[in-house]
Structure 1
Protein backbone atom coordinates (compact mmCIF):
# COMPACT_ATOMS: atom_id res chain seq x y z
CA UNK A 1 0.00 0.00 0.00
CA UNK A 2 2.88 2.41 0.79
CA UNK A 3 4.25 1.81 -2.68
CA UNK A 4 0.84 2.45 -4.26
CA UNK A 5 0.49 5.72 -2.34
CA UNK A 6 4.00 6.80 -3.36
CA UNK A 7 3.35 6.11 -7.04
CA UNK A 8 0.02 7.95 -6.85
CA UNK A 9 1.59 10.94 -5.06
CA UNK A 10 4.18 11.34 -7.81
CA UNK A 11 2.23 10.04 -10.78
CA UNK A 12 -1.05 11.93 -10.44
CA UNK A 13 0.49 15.45 -10.42
CA UNK A 14 2.76 14.45 -13.32
CA UNK A 15 -0.21 13.10 -15.26
CA UNK A 16 -2.27 16.24 -14.64
CA UNK A 17 0.59 18.46 -15.76
CA UNK A 18 1.29 16.50 -18.96
CA UNK A 19 -2.38 16.28 -19.96
CA UNK A 20 -3.63 19.71 -18.89
CA UNK A 21 -0.73 22.14 -18.91
CA UNK A 22 2.31 20.83 -20.78
CA UNK A 23 3.06 21.82 -24.39
CA UNK A 24 1.68 19.29 -26.92
CA UNK A 25 5.15 17.99 -27.73
CA UNK A 26 5.65 17.00 -24.08
CA UNK A 27 2.48 14.92 -24.13
CA UNK A 28 3.52 13.30 -27.39
CA UNK A 29 6.98 12.53 -26.00
CA UNK A 30 5.47 11.01 -22.85
CA UNK A 31 3.10 8.83 -24.89
CA UNK A 32 5.93 7.72 -27.20
CA UNK A 33 8.01 6.81 -24.16
CA UNK A 34 5.20 4.84 -22.52
CA UNK A 35 4.40 3.04 -25.77
CA UNK A 36 8.03 2.19 -26.40
CA UNK A 37 8.47 0.76 -22.91
CA UNK A 38 5.21 -1.15 -23.28
CA UNK A 39 6.37 -2.69 -26.55
CA UNK A 40 9.64 -3.69 -24.93
CA UNK A 41 7.86 -5.20 -21.92
CA UNK A 42 5.55 -7.28 -24.09
CA UNK A 43 8.40 -8.60 -26.20
CA UNK A 44 10.40 -9.53 -23.14
CA UNK A 45 7.35 -11.17 -21.59
CA UNK A 46 6.96 -13.64 -24.43
CA UNK A 47 10.61 -14.65 -24.26
CA UNK A 48 12.36 -11.98 -26.28
CA UNK A 49 14.69 -10.77 -23.53
CA UNK A 50 17.67 -12.39 -25.27
CA UNK A 51 16.55 -11.33 -28.72
CA UNK A 52 17.85 -7.77 -28.73
CA UNK A 53 16.78 -7.19 -32.34
CA UNK A 54 13.16 -8.11 -31.66
CA UNK A 55 13.09 -6.06 -28.47
CA UNK A 56 14.38 -3.08 -30.42
CA UNK A 57 11.85 -3.58 -33.21
CA UNK A 58 8.99 -3.79 -30.70
CA UNK A 59 10.13 -0.71 -28.81
CA UNK A 60 10.65 1.45 -31.89
CA UNK A 61 7.46 0.23 -33.59
CA UNK A 62 5.27 1.18 -30.62
CA UNK A 63 6.87 4.61 -30.21
CA UNK A 64 6.79 5.45 -33.92
CA UNK A 65 3.14 4.44 -34.17
CA UNK A 66 2.34 7.09 -31.56
CA UNK A 67 4.53 9.89 -32.81
CA UNK A 68 4.07 9.51 -36.56
CA UNK A 69 0.96 7.53 -37.41
CA UNK A 70 -1.64 9.11 -35.12
CA UNK A 71 -2.61 11.71 -37.74
CA UNK A 72 -1.28 9.88 -40.80
CA UNK A 73 -3.46 6.78 -41.07
CA UNK A 74 -2.50 6.39 -44.71
CA UNK A 75 1.08 5.64 -43.59
CA UNK A 76 0.05 2.85 -41.21
CA UNK A 77 0.42 0.16 -43.86
CA UNK A 78 4.01 1.27 -44.45
CA UNK A 79 4.88 0.95 -40.75
CA UNK A 80 3.17 -2.46 -40.50
CA UNK A 81 5.08 -3.77 -43.51
CA UNK A 82 8.41 -2.47 -42.24
CA UNK A 83 7.87 -3.93 -38.77
CA UNK A 84 6.82 -7.32 -40.13
CA UNK A 85 9.79 -7.45 -42.49
CA UNK A 86 12.27 -6.50 -39.74
CA UNK A 87 10.80 -8.98 -37.28
CA UNK A 88 10.83 -11.91 -39.73
CA UNK A 89 14.28 -10.94 -40.98
CA UNK A 90 15.52 -11.20 -37.40
CA UNK A 91 13.78 -14.58 -37.02
CA UNK A 92 15.28 -15.91 -40.26
CA UNK A 93 18.74 -14.71 -39.24
CA UNK A 94 18.42 -16.62 -35.95
CA UNK A 95 17.64 -19.79 -37.91
CA UNK A 96 14.56 -20.95 -36.02
CA UNK A 97 15.56 -19.75 -32.56
CA UNK A 98 12.79 -17.15 -32.52
CA UNK A 99 9.27 -18.45 -32.03
CA UNK A 100 6.22 -17.28 -33.93
CA UNK A 101 4.65 -15.94 -30.70
CA UNK A 102 7.64 -13.65 -30.24
CA UNK A 103 7.30 -12.31 -33.76
CA UNK A 104 3.60 -11.63 -33.28
CA UNK A 105 4.24 -9.85 -29.98
CA UNK A 106 6.83 -7.67 -31.68
CA UNK A 107 4.49 -6.74 -34.53
CA UNK A 108 0.80 -6.88 -33.67
CA UNK A 109 1.23 -6.30 -29.94
CA UNK A 110 3.53 -3.31 -30.26
CA UNK A 111 1.47 -1.73 -33.03
CA UNK A 112 -1.67 -2.11 -30.90
CA UNK A 113 0.06 -0.50 -27.91
CA UNK A 114 1.23 2.43 -30.01
CA UNK A 115 -2.13 2.85 -31.76
CA UNK A 116 -3.96 2.82 -28.41
CA UNK A 117 -1.70 5.42 -26.79
CA UNK A 118 -2.11 7.57 -29.90
CA UNK A 119 -5.84 7.78 -29.10
CA UNK A 120 -5.02 10.70 -26.79
CA UNK A 121 -3.43 12.62 -29.64
CA UNK A 122 -6.32 11.85 -31.97
CA UNK A 123 -8.78 13.04 -29.31
CA UNK A 124 -6.93 16.33 -28.92
CA UNK A 125 -6.72 16.73 -32.70
CA UNK A 126 -10.52 16.37 -32.75
CA UNK A 127 -10.80 19.68 -30.91
CA UNK A 128 -12.01 18.59 -27.47
CA UNK A 129 -10.89 20.34 -24.31
CA UNK A 130 -7.72 18.73 -22.97
CA UNK A 131 -9.55 17.85 -19.76
CA UNK A 132 -11.34 15.13 -21.73
CA UNK A 133 -7.99 13.45 -22.28
CA UNK A 134 -8.18 12.53 -18.60
CA UNK A 135 -11.30 10.43 -19.16
CA UNK A 136 -9.49 7.25 -20.30
CA UNK A 137 -7.39 7.41 -17.15
CA UNK A 138 -10.32 8.23 -14.87
CA UNK A 139 -12.56 5.49 -16.28
CA UNK A 140 -9.74 2.96 -16.04
CA UNK A 141 -8.04 3.80 -12.74
CA UNK A 142 -11.37 4.41 -10.95
CA UNK A 143 -12.61 1.00 -11.98
CA UNK A 144 -9.37 -0.64 -10.88
CA UNK A 145 -9.27 1.20 -7.54
CA UNK A 146 -12.90 0.65 -6.59
CA UNK A 147 -12.69 -2.98 -7.71
CA UNK A 148 -9.60 -3.49 -5.55
CA UNK A 149 -11.21 -2.18 -2.37
CA UNK A 150 -14.62 -3.76 -3.05
CA UNK A 151 -12.95 -7.09 -3.67
CA UNK A 152 -10.78 -6.70 -0.59
CA UNK A 153 -13.74 -6.05 1.71
CA UNK A 154 -16.62 -7.87 0.03
CA UNK A 155 -15.09 -10.32 -2.41
CA UNK A 156 -16.29 -13.93 -2.14
CA UNK A 157 -17.02 -15.18 -5.65
CA UNK A 158 -14.16 -15.53 -8.12
CA UNK A 159 -14.50 -13.64 -11.38
CA UNK A 160 -11.91 -15.41 -13.56
CA UNK A 161 -9.91 -17.74 -11.28
CA UNK A 162 -7.85 -19.30 -14.06
CA UNK A 163 -6.67 -15.90 -15.27
CA UNK A 164 -6.53 -13.70 -12.17
CA UNK A 165 -7.34 -15.63 -8.97
CA UNK A 166 -7.70 -12.57 -6.73
CA UNK A 167 -10.38 -10.82 -8.78
CA UNK A 168 -13.96 -11.29 -7.64
CA UNK A 169 -17.45 -10.64 -8.97
CA UNK A 170 -18.09 -8.31 -6.04
CA UNK A 171 -14.93 -6.39 -6.93
CA UNK A 172 -16.05 -6.17 -10.54
CA UNK A 173 -19.42 -4.72 -9.55
CA UNK A 174 -17.69 -2.28 -7.20
CA UNK A 175 -15.43 -1.19 -10.04
CA UNK A 176 -18.40 -0.50 -12.31
CA UNK A 177 -20.16 1.49 -9.57
CA UNK A 178 -17.00 3.48 -8.87
CA UNK A 179 -16.62 4.22 -12.56
CA UNK A 180 -20.15 5.62 -12.77
CA UNK A 181 -19.56 7.79 -9.69
CA UNK A 182 -16.29 9.21 -11.05
CA UNK A 183 -17.78 9.71 -14.50
CA UNK A 184 -20.67 11.71 -13.08
CA UNK A 185 -18.26 13.69 -10.94
CA UNK A 186 -16.27 14.51 -14.07
CA UNK A 187 -19.41 15.87 -15.78
CA UNK A 188 -20.18 18.01 -12.72
CA UNK A 189 -16.65 19.44 -12.70
CA UNK A 190 -16.82 20.23 -16.41
CA UNK A 191 -20.21 21.91 -15.99
CA UNK A 192 -19.12 23.81 -12.91
CA UNK A 193 -15.64 24.98 -13.88
CA UNK A 194 -15.09 24.52 -17.62
CA UNK A 195 -18.20 25.97 -19.21
CA UNK A 196 -20.18 22.80 -19.77
CA UNK A 197 -19.69 19.13 -20.57
CA UNK A 198 -19.83 17.58 -24.02
CA UNK A 199 -21.74 14.67 -22.55
CA UNK A 200 -24.65 14.72 -20.08
CA UNK A 201 -25.10 12.77 -16.87
CA UNK A 202 -27.18 9.96 -18.39
CA UNK A 203 -24.89 9.27 -21.36
CA UNK A 204 -21.87 9.54 -19.07
CA UNK A 205 -23.30 6.88 -16.75
CA UNK A 206 -23.68 4.55 -19.75
CA UNK A 207 -20.20 5.42 -21.02
CA UNK A 208 -18.72 4.78 -17.58
CA UNK A 209 -20.39 1.36 -17.42
CA UNK A 210 -19.14 0.49 -20.90
CA UNK A 211 -15.62 1.66 -20.12
CA UNK A 212 -15.69 -0.19 -16.80
CA UNK A 213 -16.46 -3.44 -18.60
CA UNK A 214 -13.82 -2.71 -21.25
CA UNK A 215 -11.27 -1.79 -18.57
CA UNK A 216 -11.78 -5.11 -16.81
CA UNK A 217 -11.45 -7.00 -20.09
CA UNK A 218 -8.21 -5.12 -20.76
CA UNK A 219 -6.89 -5.91 -17.30
CA UNK A 220 -7.74 -9.59 -17.63
CA UNK A 221 -6.36 -9.74 -21.16
CA UNK A 222 -2.88 -8.66 -20.12
CA UNK A 223 -3.14 -10.88 -17.04
CA UNK A 224 -3.87 -13.78 -19.38
CA UNK A 225 -0.67 -13.07 -21.29
CA UNK A 226 1.37 -12.90 -18.06
CA UNK A 227 -0.09 -16.17 -16.82
CA UNK A 228 0.59 -17.90 -20.13
CA UNK A 229 4.26 -16.92 -20.02
CA UNK A 230 4.71 -17.33 -16.26
CA UNK A 231 5.61 -13.83 -15.09
CA UNK A 232 4.24 -11.78 -12.21
CA UNK A 233 4.75 -8.27 -13.60
CA UNK A 234 5.74 -6.85 -16.96
CA UNK A 235 8.25 -4.54 -15.31
CA UNK A 236 9.04 -2.47 -12.21
CA UNK A 237 8.86 1.09 -13.49
CA UNK A 238 5.95 1.86 -11.14
CA UNK A 239 7.22 -0.17 -8.17
CA UNK A 240 4.37 -2.31 -6.77
CA UNK A 241 2.20 -1.29 -9.73
CA UNK A 242 4.61 -3.11 -12.04
CA UNK A 243 5.50 -1.86 -15.50
CA UNK A 244 3.73 0.18 -18.15
CA UNK A 245 1.53 -2.72 -19.24
CA UNK A 246 0.61 -3.53 -15.63
CA UNK A 247 -0.46 0.04 -14.93
CA UNK A 248 -1.94 1.02 -18.30
CA UNK A 249 -3.42 -2.30 -19.46
CA UNK A 250 -6.99 -1.03 -18.97
CA UNK A 251 -6.18 2.39 -20.44
CA UNK A 252 -4.99 0.76 -23.66
CA UNK A 253 -8.49 -0.67 -24.14
CA UNK A 254 -10.52 2.24 -22.79
CA UNK A 255 -8.79 5.10 -24.67
CA UNK A 256 -9.75 3.89 -28.18
CA UNK A 257 -13.33 3.25 -27.04
CA UNK A 258 -13.66 6.81 -25.75
CA UNK A 259 -12.09 8.12 -28.95
CA UNK A 260 -14.65 6.21 -31.02
CA UNK A 261 -17.58 7.37 -28.87
CA UNK A 262 -16.50 11.01 -29.04
CA UNK A 263 -16.04 10.79 -32.82
CA UNK A 264 -19.74 9.90 -33.05
CA UNK A 265 -20.90 12.89 -31.01
CA UNK A 266 -22.58 15.68 -33.03
Structure 2
Protein backbone atom coordinates (compact mmCIF):
# COMPACT_ATOMS: atom_id res chain seq x y z
CA UNK A 1 0.00 0.00 0.00
CA UNK A 2 2.88 2.40 0.80
CA UNK A 3 4.31 1.75 -2.65
CA UNK A 4 0.94 2.40 -4.29
CA UNK A 5 0.56 5.68 -2.41
CA UNK A 6 4.08 6.76 -3.37
CA UNK A 7 3.42 6.09 -7.05
CA UNK A 8 0.14 8.01 -6.83
CA UNK A 9 1.75 11.00 -5.07
CA UNK A 10 4.42 11.27 -7.77
CA UNK A 11 2.47 9.98 -10.77
CA UNK A 12 -0.80 11.94 -10.52
CA UNK A 13 0.79 15.44 -10.53
CA UNK A 14 3.09 14.36 -13.38
CA UNK A 15 0.11 13.05 -15.36
CA UNK A 16 -1.89 16.24 -14.75
CA UNK A 17 1.02 18.40 -15.85
CA UNK A 18 1.71 16.47 -19.06
CA UNK A 19 -1.96 16.33 -20.06
CA UNK A 20 -3.13 19.80 -18.99
CA UNK A 21 -0.16 22.15 -18.95
CA UNK A 22 2.88 20.79 -20.76
CA UNK A 23 3.59 21.60 -24.43
CA UNK A 24 2.18 19.04 -26.89
CA UNK A 25 5.71 17.86 -27.57
CA UNK A 26 5.99 16.65 -23.96
CA UNK A 27 2.90 14.49 -24.39
CA UNK A 28 4.28 13.10 -27.64
CA UNK A 29 7.53 12.12 -25.91
CA UNK A 30 5.66 10.56 -22.97
CA UNK A 31 3.46 8.48 -25.27
CA UNK A 32 6.49 7.32 -27.27
CA UNK A 33 8.14 6.17 -24.04
CA UNK A 34 5.02 4.38 -22.78
CA UNK A 35 4.47 2.61 -26.11
CA UNK A 36 8.10 1.55 -26.38
CA UNK A 37 8.29 0.27 -22.81
CA UNK A 38 4.94 -1.50 -23.13
CA UNK A 39 6.05 -3.27 -26.31
CA UNK A 40 9.33 -4.25 -24.62
CA UNK A 41 7.49 -5.68 -21.61
CA UNK A 42 5.17 -7.75 -23.79
CA UNK A 43 8.00 -9.14 -25.91
CA UNK A 44 10.07 -9.98 -22.84
CA UNK A 45 7.05 -11.74 -21.36
CA UNK A 46 6.69 -13.91 -24.47
CA UNK A 47 10.30 -14.26 -25.65
CA UNK A 48 12.38 -13.73 -22.52
CA UNK A 49 15.06 -11.12 -21.93
CA UNK A 50 17.69 -12.99 -23.96
CA UNK A 51 15.89 -12.45 -27.28
CA UNK A 52 17.25 -8.92 -27.59
CA UNK A 53 16.59 -8.69 -31.34
CA UNK A 54 12.85 -9.16 -31.05
CA UNK A 55 12.71 -6.87 -28.03
CA UNK A 56 14.54 -4.11 -29.90
CA UNK A 57 12.32 -4.48 -32.97
CA UNK A 58 9.20 -4.34 -30.80
CA UNK A 59 10.34 -1.14 -29.11
CA UNK A 60 11.35 0.60 -32.35
CA UNK A 61 8.17 -0.30 -34.22
CA UNK A 62 5.92 0.66 -31.29
CA UNK A 63 7.51 4.10 -31.04
CA UNK A 64 7.27 4.50 -34.82
CA UNK A 65 3.59 3.49 -34.74
CA UNK A 66 2.67 6.30 -32.32
CA UNK A 67 4.12 8.86 -34.70
CA UNK A 68 2.69 7.19 -37.82
CA UNK A 69 -0.84 6.91 -36.44
CA UNK A 70 -0.72 10.55 -35.42
CA UNK A 71 0.56 11.96 -38.72
CA UNK A 72 -0.69 9.39 -41.27
CA UNK A 73 -3.74 7.52 -39.91
CA UNK A 74 -5.12 7.07 -43.43
CA UNK A 75 -2.08 4.99 -44.36
CA UNK A 76 -2.44 2.45 -41.56
CA UNK A 77 -2.63 -0.56 -43.93
CA UNK A 78 0.82 0.35 -45.27
CA UNK A 79 2.12 0.41 -41.69
CA UNK A 80 0.66 -3.04 -40.98
CA UNK A 81 2.34 -4.44 -44.06
CA UNK A 82 5.72 -2.88 -43.27
CA UNK A 83 5.76 -4.12 -39.69
CA UNK A 84 4.64 -7.62 -40.69
CA UNK A 85 7.49 -7.72 -43.22
CA UNK A 86 9.94 -6.56 -40.55
CA UNK A 87 9.00 -9.20 -37.98
CA UNK A 88 8.59 -12.10 -40.38
CA UNK A 89 11.74 -11.07 -42.22
CA UNK A 90 13.69 -11.12 -38.95
CA UNK A 91 12.23 -14.54 -38.09
CA UNK A 92 13.30 -15.91 -41.47
CA UNK A 93 16.76 -14.41 -40.98
CA UNK A 94 17.02 -16.20 -37.63
CA UNK A 95 16.30 -19.51 -39.33
CA UNK A 96 13.32 -20.65 -37.29
CA UNK A 97 14.62 -19.64 -33.87
CA UNK A 98 11.89 -17.00 -33.56
CA UNK A 99 8.49 -18.57 -32.93
CA UNK A 100 5.08 -17.49 -34.18
CA UNK A 101 3.90 -16.29 -30.76
CA UNK A 102 6.96 -14.01 -30.57
CA UNK A 103 6.11 -12.54 -33.98
CA UNK A 104 2.52 -11.95 -32.89
CA UNK A 105 3.69 -10.34 -29.64
CA UNK A 106 5.85 -8.00 -31.70
CA UNK A 107 3.02 -7.08 -34.05
CA UNK A 108 0.51 -6.63 -31.23
CA UNK A 109 3.00 -4.68 -29.16
CA UNK A 110 3.86 -2.36 -32.01
CA UNK A 111 0.53 -1.94 -33.79
CA UNK A 112 -2.13 -2.29 -31.06
CA UNK A 113 -0.24 -0.72 -28.16
CA UNK A 114 1.17 2.07 -30.32
CA UNK A 115 -2.23 2.76 -31.85
CA UNK A 116 -3.91 2.89 -28.43
CA UNK A 117 -1.43 5.37 -26.98
CA UNK A 118 -1.68 7.48 -30.14
CA UNK A 119 -5.39 7.90 -29.36
CA UNK A 120 -4.44 10.74 -27.02
CA UNK A 121 -2.68 12.60 -29.84
CA UNK A 122 -5.62 12.14 -32.16
CA UNK A 123 -8.05 13.31 -29.46
CA UNK A 124 -5.98 16.42 -28.89
CA UNK A 125 -5.80 17.09 -32.62
CA UNK A 126 -9.62 16.90 -32.83
CA UNK A 127 -9.85 20.20 -30.95
CA UNK A 128 -11.52 19.10 -27.71
CA UNK A 129 -10.48 20.60 -24.38
CA UNK A 130 -7.32 18.96 -23.08
CA UNK A 131 -9.12 18.07 -19.86
CA UNK A 132 -10.98 15.37 -21.79
CA UNK A 133 -7.64 13.63 -22.36
CA UNK A 134 -7.82 12.74 -18.66
CA UNK A 135 -11.01 10.71 -19.15
CA UNK A 136 -9.28 7.49 -20.34
CA UNK A 137 -7.18 7.58 -17.17
CA UNK A 138 -10.06 8.53 -14.87
CA UNK A 139 -12.42 5.88 -16.25
CA UNK A 140 -9.71 3.24 -15.99
CA UNK A 141 -7.94 4.05 -12.73
CA UNK A 142 -11.21 4.76 -10.90
CA UNK A 143 -12.60 1.39 -11.91
CA UNK A 144 -9.41 -0.36 -10.82
CA UNK A 145 -9.19 1.50 -7.49
CA UNK A 146 -12.82 1.08 -6.48
CA UNK A 147 -12.76 -2.57 -7.56
CA UNK A 148 -9.65 -3.14 -5.44
CA UNK A 149 -11.19 -1.78 -2.25
CA UNK A 150 -14.65 -3.24 -2.88
CA UNK A 151 -13.06 -6.63 -3.48
CA UNK A 152 -11.07 -6.45 -0.25
CA UNK A 153 -14.06 -5.47 1.88
CA UNK A 154 -16.97 -7.22 0.18
CA UNK A 155 -15.52 -9.76 -2.24
CA UNK A 156 -16.82 -13.33 -1.91
CA UNK A 157 -17.59 -14.62 -5.40
CA UNK A 158 -14.76 -15.07 -7.89
CA UNK A 159 -15.07 -13.21 -11.19
CA UNK A 160 -12.54 -15.10 -13.35
CA UNK A 161 -10.61 -17.45 -11.04
CA UNK A 162 -8.56 -19.10 -13.80
CA UNK A 163 -7.40 -15.74 -15.15
CA UNK A 164 -7.12 -13.51 -12.06
CA UNK A 165 -7.92 -15.41 -8.83
CA UNK A 166 -8.18 -12.33 -6.60
CA UNK A 167 -10.82 -10.50 -8.62
CA UNK A 168 -14.41 -10.85 -7.45
CA UNK A 169 -17.88 -10.06 -8.77
CA UNK A 170 -18.40 -7.67 -5.85
CA UNK A 171 -15.17 -5.90 -6.71
CA UNK A 172 -16.23 -5.65 -10.34
CA UNK A 173 -19.54 -4.06 -9.35
CA UNK A 174 -17.73 -1.65 -7.03
CA UNK A 175 -15.44 -0.67 -9.89
CA UNK A 176 -18.38 0.11 -12.17
CA UNK A 177 -20.06 2.19 -9.46
CA UNK A 178 -16.81 4.06 -8.78
CA UNK A 179 -16.45 4.77 -12.48
CA UNK A 180 -19.91 6.32 -12.62
CA UNK A 181 -19.25 8.48 -9.56
CA UNK A 182 -15.93 9.73 -10.93
CA UNK A 183 -17.45 10.33 -14.36
CA UNK A 184 -20.22 12.46 -12.83
CA UNK A 185 -17.64 14.32 -10.76
CA UNK A 186 -15.72 15.07 -13.95
CA UNK A 187 -18.84 16.59 -15.54
CA UNK A 188 -19.40 18.73 -12.44
CA UNK A 189 -15.81 19.99 -12.51
CA UNK A 190 -16.06 20.82 -16.22
CA UNK A 191 -19.34 22.69 -15.64
CA UNK A 192 -18.03 24.50 -12.58
CA UNK A 193 -14.51 25.48 -13.63
CA UNK A 194 -14.08 25.00 -17.40
CA UNK A 195 -17.14 26.67 -18.89
CA UNK A 196 -19.34 23.64 -19.36
CA UNK A 197 -19.12 19.97 -20.23
CA UNK A 198 -19.61 18.54 -23.69
CA UNK A 199 -21.24 15.51 -22.06
CA UNK A 200 -24.29 15.66 -19.77
CA UNK A 201 -24.70 13.75 -16.53
CA UNK A 202 -26.92 11.04 -17.99
CA UNK A 203 -24.73 10.25 -21.02
CA UNK A 204 -21.64 10.36 -18.81
CA UNK A 205 -23.14 7.77 -16.45
CA UNK A 206 -23.72 5.43 -19.41
CA UNK A 207 -20.28 6.19 -20.84
CA UNK A 208 -18.63 5.49 -17.48
CA UNK A 209 -20.44 2.16 -17.22
CA UNK A 210 -19.33 1.18 -20.72
CA UNK A 211 -15.74 2.21 -20.04
CA UNK A 212 -15.83 0.34 -16.74
CA UNK A 213 -16.70 -2.87 -18.57
CA UNK A 214 -14.05 -2.19 -21.22
CA UNK A 215 -11.47 -1.39 -18.52
CA UNK A 216 -12.10 -4.69 -16.77
CA UNK A 217 -11.86 -6.59 -20.04
CA UNK A 218 -8.51 -4.88 -20.67
CA UNK A 219 -7.26 -5.72 -17.19
CA UNK A 220 -8.26 -9.37 -17.50
CA UNK A 221 -6.86 -9.61 -21.03
CA UNK A 222 -3.35 -8.68 -19.97
CA UNK A 223 -3.71 -10.86 -16.86
CA UNK A 224 -4.53 -13.74 -19.19
CA UNK A 225 -1.25 -13.22 -21.03
CA UNK A 226 0.72 -13.05 -17.77
CA UNK A 227 -0.83 -16.26 -16.51
CA UNK A 228 -0.08 -18.08 -19.78
CA UNK A 229 3.62 -17.17 -19.58
CA UNK A 230 3.94 -17.54 -15.82
CA UNK A 231 4.91 -14.03 -14.71
CA UNK A 232 3.53 -11.89 -11.89
CA UNK A 233 4.20 -8.44 -13.34
CA UNK A 234 5.30 -7.13 -16.71
CA UNK A 235 7.88 -4.87 -15.07
CA UNK A 236 8.72 -2.76 -12.04
CA UNK A 237 8.68 0.78 -13.42
CA UNK A 238 5.81 1.71 -11.07
CA UNK A 239 7.03 -0.32 -8.08
CA UNK A 240 4.10 -2.32 -6.65
CA UNK A 241 1.94 -1.27 -9.60
CA UNK A 242 4.24 -3.25 -11.91
CA UNK A 243 5.18 -2.08 -15.39
CA UNK A 244 3.49 -0.05 -18.09
CA UNK A 245 1.22 -2.93 -19.11
CA UNK A 246 0.26 -3.59 -15.49
CA UNK A 247 -0.69 0.04 -14.88
CA UNK A 248 -2.06 1.04 -18.30
CA UNK A 249 -3.68 -2.24 -19.40
CA UNK A 250 -7.18 -0.81 -18.97
CA UNK A 251 -6.22 2.56 -20.47
CA UNK A 252 -5.09 0.81 -23.65
CA UNK A 253 -8.63 -0.48 -24.14
CA UNK A 254 -10.56 2.57 -22.88
CA UNK A 255 -8.70 5.30 -24.81
CA UNK A 256 -9.61 4.04 -28.32
CA UNK A 257 -13.22 3.49 -27.23
CA UNK A 258 -13.47 7.09 -26.03
CA UNK A 259 -11.83 8.32 -29.22
CA UNK A 260 -14.45 6.54 -31.32
CA UNK A 261 -17.32 7.83 -29.18
CA UNK A 262 -16.02 11.41 -29.18
CA UNK A 263 -15.75 11.31 -32.96
CA UNK A 264 -19.58 11.20 -33.06
CA UNK A 265 -20.06 14.05 -30.59
Which SS does the other structure have where 2:69 is aligned? coil
Number of residue pairs matched?
265
TM-score w.r.t. length of structure 1? 0.98
2:258 paired with 1:263? no
1:179, 1:212 within 8 Å by CA — same for their partners in 2? yes
Alignment of 1:127-146 (within 5 A): 127-146=127-146
* Alpha-carbon distance, 1:49 to partner: 2.2
> Residue 222 of structure 1 aligns with which residue?
222
Q: Give deviations 1:46-84, integer Å, cap 9, x for gaps.
A: 124222221111111111111232231133223222221
Alpha-carbon distance between aligned partners in 2 of 1:174 and 1:13, rounded to the nearest angstrom: 25
Runs of 4+ aligned structure 1 residues displaced above 6 Å come to: none
> Residue 106 of structure 1 aligns with which residue?
106
Alpha-carbon distance between aligned partners in 1 of 2:20 and 2:50, rounded to the nearest angstrom: 39
Once structures 1 and 2 are overlaid, which stretch shifts more, 136-145 or 50-59? 50-59
* Alpha-carbon distance, 1:227 to partner: 0.3
Which SS does the other structure have where 1:76 is aligned? helix
Q: Give deviations 1:196-215, integer Å, cap 9, x for gaps.
A: 00000000000000000000
2:151, 2:170 within 8 Å by CA — same for their partners in 1? yes
**What stretches of structure 1 of length at least 5 have no aligned partner?**
none
> Residue 158 of structure 1 aligns with which residue?
158
**What stretches of structure 2 of length at least 5 have no aligned partner?**
none
TM-score w.r.t. length of structure 2? 0.98
Once structures 1 and 2 are overlaid, which stretch shifts more, 158-167 or 51-60? 51-60
> Residue 61 of structure 1 aligns with which residue?
61
Alpha-carbon distance between aligned partners in 2 of 1:151 and 1:83, rounded to the nearest angstrom: 41
2:178 paired with 1:175? no
2:38, 2:109 within 8 Å by CA — same for their partners in 1? no
Alpha-carbon distance between aligned partners in 2 of 1:138 and 1:108, rounded to the nearest angstrom: 25
